[in-house]
Amino acid sequence: MDPFSSESQAAFLERMRRQFDFGPYPRYSIETVPREVGNELFTHNLVTPYYLCHRQVVDTKQKLILDAGCGTGYKALVLAKANPGAKIIGIDLSPKSIELAQQRIAYHSYQDTVEFHVLSIEDIDQLGLSFDYINCDEVLYFFDDIARGLAALKAVLKPEGIIRANLHSKLQRRNFFSAQEFFNIIGLMEEEAEDMAIPIVIEIMKELNPEVFLKKMTWNSSFEEEDEETSKELLLANQLLKGDKGYRIADMFDGIRRADLEFINMLEWRRWNVTDLFKDPDDLPSYLAIGLADSSQETALTIYELLHPIHRLLDFWCTHPRQKPEPLPVAEWTLDDWLHSQVTLHPQLRTEAFQESALEAIQKNGPFIISTSLNLPTLSPVTISYDVAALLLQLWDGPKPFTALVDFWQRTHPMNLITLEPITPETAAQQVADALGKLEVFLYVLPELIL
């Protein structure tokens, strides 16, 4: 049978609908609130990938965002909180999931911001809308052809819009695929077998010898101790996940290319850096250092995947093929570029906790660990001095011209403490550029050229 025939597609959609009507996902309680501090809002904020792609800061007001495969609506709630002023449209195959999603949004009073539809991804065009951002989380790997899913999303994406999607890693999840195959062989993956399967899986895994490889690699005794609903969610999302498939980095790039899209970066881009896998990232073995310097993004990510397959998801952003030249990286800016820029504090640092910590550092003339507020872009703590913290607070109410920050710096640093000579505007500008450049690497600040 043609896997893309209407009959095959209808059977696939019905299987997915039944699976998620039985076990709606994710099963966060209706009352769960996305954290204001941390990475959850950072990764769901359109500002983050838009800046990585265009080196520009986008205003989320009036933006239209699609949550494709929204499940029970938790990510739609996160998207609403992370993108103030945006309109969120959630779609899902499962009527039961949409019912729970509507209850969640009503509980949190986001009815005017978020709406839901029972709809498949391949029928999105029925909405008659085009989107600035599409979040397709934990869905794409169910497609027989990921390019088909990406193409459906691309068809409703605005010219400068961005898609976030992900695939299960073939290497990281290989043991779960073995578990799924085993449970399929013994009949626990059959249609309408879910209720029967869950207690049987628990019994089998519980009774296996502790040294059995599959048990060691896929089982946690907490599965046996969790309440029924929690165990049900964990098993349905792993050992009993129907239609689950694994992919490699090469598969991801192939799907993006065949859908005529362009890769931007991995969602956790800083955690895919090959050099971080070595004892001294600044002194790599020469043969490898030379090769990495000339390698493509795909090759570098493949090397990481082979050396250290720890990521469950190949989580990425992509967009339409860009017509303009790629913006000059901030690391390559001259001082003149900086003088023609403005700087924005990343929206997810504009929290009361961040402000209080920065003020405390200033009052004590002490260090400020900025990564406490947002640690995703870094592998180790990022510490700044109290005077740089004061500089960042100048951005609290909105973006500022770089020259305004230089003026502030020169007023708070009037002289060289060694020579006692006045700080010149050029020296102050270079010091501010150096401080902000180190923070832009982590997207704590977002400089953009003003032409």
For residues 354 and 351, give the distance between their C-alpha atoms in angstroms, rounded to a whole number. Answer: 5
What's the pLDDT tens digit per position in 367-387?
Answer: 999 998 888 877 788 999 999
Q: What is the mean pLDDT of residues 428-433?
A: 97
Per-position DSSP letters for 221-248, written without gaps between them: THHHHS-HHHHHHHHHTTTT-TT---B-
Amino acid at 369: I
Residue 210 near residue 4, CB atoms below 8 Å: no
Apex 51 CA angle, 48 and 54, nearest 5: 145
Map residue 276 onto helix, strand or coil.
helix
Q: Which helix (H) or strand (E) holds 117?
A: strand 114-118
pLDDT of residue 141: 92
List, for residues 237-269, the tens digit of each pLDDT value: 899 998 899 999 999 999 999 999 999 999 999
Band of pLDDT at residue 413, cut at 50, 70 and 90: very high
Is residue 3 scored above 50 in pLDDT? Answer: no
Alpha-carbon dihedral sign for residues 214, 220, 224, 226: negative
Question: Given this model, what pLDDT does residue 196 score?
Answer: 85
Task: Report the candidate in 391, 415, 387 with the shortest Cα–Cα distance to residue 405.
Answer: 391
Cα-to-chain-centroid distance, residue 162: 12
* Surface-to-core class of residue 141, CB atoms within 10 Å of its CB (0-12 exposed, 13-18 middle, 19+ buried): buried
Mean pLDDT of 108-128: 94
Predicted model pTM: 0.90
Judge residue 444's burial from the number of C-beta atoms within 10 Å of its C-beta, 0-12 exposed, 13-18 middle, 19 or more buried.
buried
Portions of the chain given CATH number 3.40.50.150 = 6-171+245-268+311-319
How many other C-beta atoms are found inside a 10 Å radius of the C-beta of residue 336? Answer: 9
What does the pLDDT read at residue 10? 61
Helix, strand or coil, per DSSP, at residue 295: coil
Instruction: Tell whether the model's pLDDT for residue 224 goes beyond 80.
Output: no
Strand order through the sheet with 341-345: 400-401, 341-345, 445-449
Spacing of C-alpha 119 from chain mean position: 24
Per the prediction, the chain carries an average pLDDT of 90
50 by Cβ neighbours in 10 Å (0-12 / 13-18 / 19+) ranks as buried
CATH of domain 6-171+245-268+311-319: 3.40.50.150
Contact 81, 34 (CB under 8 A): yes
Residues 53-102 pLDDT 10s: 999 999 999 999 999 999 999 999 999 999 999 999 999 999 999 999 99
List, for residues 123-174, the tens digit of each pLDDT value. 999 999 999 999 999 999 999 899 999 999 999 999 999 999 999 999 999 9
What gap in Å lies between CA 410 and CA 96, rounded to an integer? 60
**To which H or E segment does residue 68 belong?**
strand 64-68
